[in-house]
Amino acid sequence: MKKGFTLIEIMVVIVIMGVLAAVGVPKLFGMIAKAKASEAPTAAGVYIHLQEAYQADKTVIGSWKNIGYEAPGTNGVSSYFKYKSCADEDIVYDGNQSVAIGWIATSLSGLNDCALGSSWAVTVSILAERSLVYATNVNSDECAKLTHNWTVANIGDECEGNSGNTQQASNDPGPQQQQQPDEQTQSSPSQDVDCQALKDAHNAEHGNKNGWVDYPRCGTKVPPGVAKDLPGCSGNGNKLQCE
């Protein structure tokens, strides 16, 4: 007598395969999306490393050409991302805080729930002479799941709103200065220091913050190397304090 599978056994096998497929396929696509998205933070890490090396000799936010950075792909376009610099020229420290999106990557395809056209950006802030702070941002929670340790923020379209080029040293007063030439305003923490840049840098740094100094003006902690150049801070080493 020949033996075979019963109809119930076959149905049980089909149900099990369906459950495994329902659980496994989304995870598989999630792993593929993460693998594709990993190109962006890797490229950003190379950019930050070169920017830090360039800044060691010059008090500037360097352009891609000057720091020797080349984006992945051909002419800044890879299989998954389009890369662009929002600082076309070196941005020199002129005594004021300057902020620029020094690196931005825009996705050329959807990565699971991370939509087509999503952006990853490295914002560079000159807080003081020879003091650069980096913030790594992504524009949605869905994309942040693919690149851990990146802060969700509104990056905007391409370089729109980038303040780097507008804050370079210039003899021409800005529109607000022209409208209020005789008005004297009292100095405030927001005028002295870019508090948001300090907070972004604190949030973006997920490592050991031992030794960081409290900076009450902005309600955050900053590295000692940054704190010593900020208004209201004095002393050195363990005696460094900020008001």
**Each residue of 173-201: pLDDT tens digit?**
333 333 444 443 333 443 457 787 777 77
97 assigned to some structural domain:
yes
70 assigned to some structural domain:
yes
| Whole-Å CA distances, 7 to 2, 19, 21, 215, 216 | 15, 19, 21, 72, 73
**Each residue of 58-74: pLDDT tens digit?**
778 889 999 999 999 99
197 assigned to some structural domain:
no
Q: Are residues 158 and 230 in the same domain?
A: no
Count the alpha carbons within 13 Å of 114 in the hemisphere toward its beta carbon.
29
Which tokens is 87 given?
């600082």
* Phi-psi category of residue 158: left, alpha or beta, with phi > 0 → left and psi -120 to 50 → alpha: left
Q: 202 CB contacts (<8 Å, ≥6 apart)? A: 209, 212, 220, 221, 222
Q: Is residue 138 helix, strand or coil?
A: strand
Number of domains in the chain: 2
Residue numbers of the domain that contains 215: 207-243
Q: Are residues 239 and 155 in the same domain?
A: no
Q: From CA 86, how far away is CA 167, in angstroms rounded? A: 13
Q: Are residues 104 and 214 in the same domain?
A: no
% of the chain exceeding 70 in pLDDT: 73
In the listed set 168, 199, 230, which residue is the last one of a domain according to the structure? 168
% of the chain exceeding 90 in pLDDT: 24
